[in-house]
Chain A
């Protein structure tokens, strides 16, 4: 039996930590080879989609179309963001479409028929969503019914409630003068405000990176070279400013997608930096281990479903606002599967514990780009369904292949 103790923890270099830019680049290459693809396939896919549709129709990348795309993507993105949280705890919510439709009906009824103040109506819709999520969480944790079945029942049940609320006419129009509709259609940031937001975001990345470096040095841990944070911040600033400038050639940067991105940043922070987020990943990875470690598994599951349904409700409100009406069609048809597909295409695993808030952004960009491109080509929605289905299949195959590659390299 060999009893010599060589190579203790501290003596060896830490291959996964990025110290300098060069280390970061080589570490990235190593992870790629090991099947840790991260968001690379999605980004490549987005580029392919952009090139393809631009070749077929030069209007695809025109500023006007991209402005429309950001407006279209935001409501779906908010729903997908909620789905990400539920997928992370290794559950699924098939009823996000129905819940979003129900929420749009609630806003319509509250604001138009009952003449409630608009904000009260929105709050009622979101609260209804959160209550539905709490109910799902209760059924799951109390009776152990698979979330697949609970939410399948919810899909039907809440579609029914939506129809009841809308009444025999089946639709409630929200006039264009309503601030909610204006928010979703005509609220654009003045260019200077958009540039300021881009600058604040870049400064935030820089400040967070430098603060992290300072904390790590104080804790005597290896830390990144400041150049890493600076380059990241400059790159982000460049990309954001380019986007703002390009969109400003048309109507500019809309407020609704900015709201979506703010929600993504908030959820990303909650997932990465708080006890609750740690608990979400632990429950998604190994619920038994989480329970034995003393984590509040029940509470985590219930809050995940509440966030998912509340975001679905908010997404439904935004969708109704964008269309200027709450109808029986709001949240129907493909909303459900598009939101779930967006979360998965963006890189959140169906099997729980892997992914992040930003996958909602990437996924919803892919879905919306495909939908927008096919609309520009005057193709029927039948084709759009088929193409979206194929892309979802492709994303799941990429996920499975990278899982297998991780497994064969011992990174499962």
Chain B
């Protein structure tokens, strides 16, 4: 398949995803398309449904309603292992690193190489290759992860998610606890992943980070998509207005027109309703 075609077909299509926990409706009829080679930022206030949406993809929560299409085929993601097998890697906020183990052991945790005894040399060599590919600044792969800085730890966690060569990489608040330089390091890394053809889904509260790296921004509010923005016309005020609910740009949940994704395509905002989804009613949260 040609590269342009590849990038026109969504890798993941979520349609009319709903999920509730008891009386709380966490997601209502959410549609989301993810393409290769782009950074999609999910933003929204606390409790807007960002984490739930991501956890549906990560196989942590099963949706109550809706379909997920992965590379053109309808799939169910019942477990984190199933998600990983599809090629969806998730880096949660707590990073899930073992502080007492070194970088190599953490990178290959659960995927150790070698039969019988561990093949430390091959693992170390691959670790260097992986970290070099990510231009990571880590002095030694034989240091315990506890000795690394926050940015380096984030880098290790992201690098680990790349071990199975995933298509989609989900990052949950990757810059939340980082300083300025370390944030820049992680943002560089996100751009690098996009340039290497991964689809990066970024959950963030930090609008500066979102504006720096995101190609598209999806705003969630009270479990609904409340706005979709494209990188060129990102406006800080619009995003904030959309997050807080002052602005609602998503009355008809328009489809993302793949042609817009071509560099010479029409650069228009995604505000006009496309109406191609069967359950195109954002008010359908009652079901």
Contact = CB atoms under 8 A, between A and B. Distances in A.
B117 A273 contact: yes
A216 B128 CA distance: 13
A9 B131 contact: yes
Residue of A10, A216, A220, A221 most packed against chain B (CB within 10 A): A221
B109 A293 contact: yes
B110 A219 contact: no
Contacts of B137: 7-9, 12
B112 A275 contact: yes
B118 A274 contact: yes
A128 B124 CA distance: 41
Nearest to A1: B184
A225 interface: no
B146 interface: yes
Given A14-B140, A273-B118, A412-B99, A221 B109 contact: no
A353 interface: yes
B81 A289 contact: no
B100 A285 contact: yes
B41 interface: no
Contacts of A284: 100
A330 B99 CA distance: 40
Given A293-B110, A353-B100, A2 B181 contact: yes
Interface residues of B, number: 44
Contacts of A274: 116-118
B187 interface: yes
A14 B142 contact: yes
B80 A292 contact: yes
Contacts of A412: 99, 146
Given A8-B132, A8-B136, A274-B116, A289 B98 contact: yes
B100 A12 contact: no
| Secondary structure class of chain B's binding surface, majority of residues | loop
Interface in B56-113: 80-81, 92, 94, 96-101, 105, 109-112
Contacts of B98: 281-282, 285-286, 289-290, 353
A286 B97 CA distance: 7
A288 B124 CA distance: 24
Interface string A220-232: 1100000000000
A57 interface: no
A158 to B, nearest CB: 32
Contact of B110 (A1, A5, A294): A294
A172 B263 CA distance: 88
Interface string A275-311: 1001001101110111011110000000000000000
Interface string B121-143: 11011001001100111111111
Given A289-B96, A411-B144, A5 B101 contact: no
A126 B212 CA distance: 63
A33 interface: no
A160 interface: no
Contacts of B94: 288
B125 A219 contact: yes
Contacts of B248: none
Contacts of A384: none
A167 interface: no
B100 A354 contact: yes
Interface of A: 1-3, 5, 7-10, 12-17, 212, 215-216, 218-221, 269, 273-275, 278, 281-282, 284-286, 288-290, 292-295, 353-354, 406, 410-412
18 contacts: A5-B135, A7-B137, A8-B136, A9-B138, A221-B121, A221-B128, A273-B117, A273-B118, A274-B116, A275-B112, A282-B101, A289-B109, A290-B98, A290-B110, A292-B80, A295-B110, A406-B146, A410-B149
